[in-house]
């Protein structure tokens, strides 16, 4: 039942980090052992889990990349931080940008993260990788080691063009690097219930990509509570347990667990 999920979309600000954090803690609340990997130079996931100054952390994913590239051994718990809501975090920060540049000259540069994930995945039921808003080498590394990709898409406009590029990239990664890569699902986020966009966008995505691409039945509503949690260092379940955003992320958690049972 072990699974590695990359949360990715090269479009910025669509809810990737919010989703990685709250899905991860949702799975932990269901009794799963979860590792969250922050693969973004902005370190937003790390910050949102309460590590206010990610750039001051001593060990981050950048060190893991560097050690893997240099064939240096490390323990499975190297650099891992423990969050009080029951998840493990491999933090990320600005150092990753240097790694991204240096990867150009590295042998097997697309599969560095895979070596690390292969080493740690036996300790977890789920490994979630929060990707940065680009399709650069670190995101390719995430796709190359994932079993599936979960794609948050903002429901406030028609984002089909950006998705096309992402789906093309997924196809390329599947052919060249990782034949098992599946699409976990498209997650509509920041849904404004006063408009009917969500339904229109779901219909449009299905029309354009057909049954190849699964869309989660329920998306995530627009919610100021979610905007607040990133500043709190907690999950939505702690911050506003009875609210609609917590219910929506619980629904996503169950849908991801159900995806597993279908197989």
Instruction: Please state, in angstroms and rounded to a whole number, the distance separating the CA atoms of residues 74 and 30.
Output: 30
Q: Closer to ligand ATP by CB, 14 or 64: give it.
A: 14
8 Å CB contact between 9 and 166 = yes
Residues 6 or more apart in contact with residue 104 via CB below 8 angstroms: 137
Q: Closer to ligand ATP by CB, 119 or 156: give it.
A: 156
DSSP bridge pairs for 221: 191
Q: Which two tokens stand for residue 174?
A: 């599947």
Site string for ligand ATP, 49-78 (x = CB under 6 A): ------------------------------
8 Å CB contact between 132 and 166 = no
Q: Closer to ligand ATP by CB, 147 or 232: give it.
A: 232
Residue 189's binding partner, choosing from ligand ATP, Mg ion, none, with beta-carbon cut-off 5 to 8 A by kind? ligand ATP
DSSP bridge pairs for 127: 4, 35
Q: In which order are the strands placed within the sheet that holds 182-189?
A: 81-82, 88-90, 34-38, 126-130, 3-7, 148-154, 182-189
Residues 6 or more apart in contact with residue 74 via CB below 8 angstroms: 64, 67
Shortest Å, Cβ 191 to ligand ATP = 7
Stretch that binds ligand ATP, among 27-35, 83-91, 173-181, 225-233 (CB under 6 A): 225-233
Residue 253: enclosing H or E segment and its boundaries? Answer: helix 244-262
Q: Which of residues 106-125 bind Mg ion (CB under 5 A)?
A: none
Per CB under 5 A, does 18 bind Mg ion? no
Instruction: Please state, in angstroms and rounded to a whole number, the distance separating the CA atoms of residues 20 and 36.
Output: 7
Shortest Å, Cβ 44 to Mg ion = 4
Sign of CA dihedral 179, 102, 132, 157: negative
Per CB under 5 A, does 16 bind Mg ion? yes
Residue 156 — φ and ψ, nearest 5°? -90, -5
Q: Closer to ligand ATP by CB, 34 or 69: give it.
A: 34
Site string for ligand ATP, 105-134 (x = CB under 6 A): ---------------------------xx-
Among 19, 39, 44, 223, binds Mg ion (CB under 5 A): 44
Per CB under 5 A, does 154 bind Mg ion? no
Q: Closer to ligand ATP by CB, 147 or 228: give it.
A: 228
Which residues sit at the interface with ligand ATP, rule CB under 6 A?
12-18, 40, 44, 132-133, 189-190, 220, 222-223, 226-227, 230
Which residues sit at the interface with Mg ion, rule CB under 5 A?
16-17, 44
């Amino acid at each position: 039942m072990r699974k590695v999920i990359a949360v990715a979309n090269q479009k910025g600000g669509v809810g990737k980090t919010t989703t990685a954090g709250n899905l991860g803690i949702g799975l932990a609340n269901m009794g799963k052992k979860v590792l969250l990997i922050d693969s973004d130079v902005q370190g937003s996931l790390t910050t949102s889990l309460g590590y206010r100054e990610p750039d001051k952390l001593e060990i981050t994913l950048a060190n893991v990349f560097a050690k893997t590239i240099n064939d240096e051994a490390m323990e499975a718990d190297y650099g891992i931080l423990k969050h009080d809501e029951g998840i493990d975090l491999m933090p990320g920060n600005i150092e990753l940008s240097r790694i991204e540049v240096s990867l150009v000259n590295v042998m097997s540069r697309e599969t560095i993260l895979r070596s690390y994930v292969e080493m740690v995945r036996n300790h977890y039921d789920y490994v979630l990788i929060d990707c940065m808003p680009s399709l650069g080498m670190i995101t390719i590394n995430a796709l190359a080691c994932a079993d599936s990709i979960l794609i948050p898409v903002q429901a406030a406009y028609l984002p089909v063009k950006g998705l096309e590029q992402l789906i093309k990239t997924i196809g390329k990664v599947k052919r060249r690097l990782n034949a098992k890569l599946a699409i976990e699902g498209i997650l509509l986020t920041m849904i404004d219930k006063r408009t009917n966009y969500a339904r229109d966008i779901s219909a449009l995505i299905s029309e354009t990509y057909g049954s190849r691409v699964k869309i989660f039945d329920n998306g995530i509503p627009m919610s100021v509570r979610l905007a607040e949690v990133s500043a709190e260092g907690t999950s939505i379940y702690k911050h506003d347990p009875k609210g609609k955003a917590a219910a929506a992320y619980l629904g996503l958690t169950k849908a991801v667990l159900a995806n597993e049972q279908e197989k």
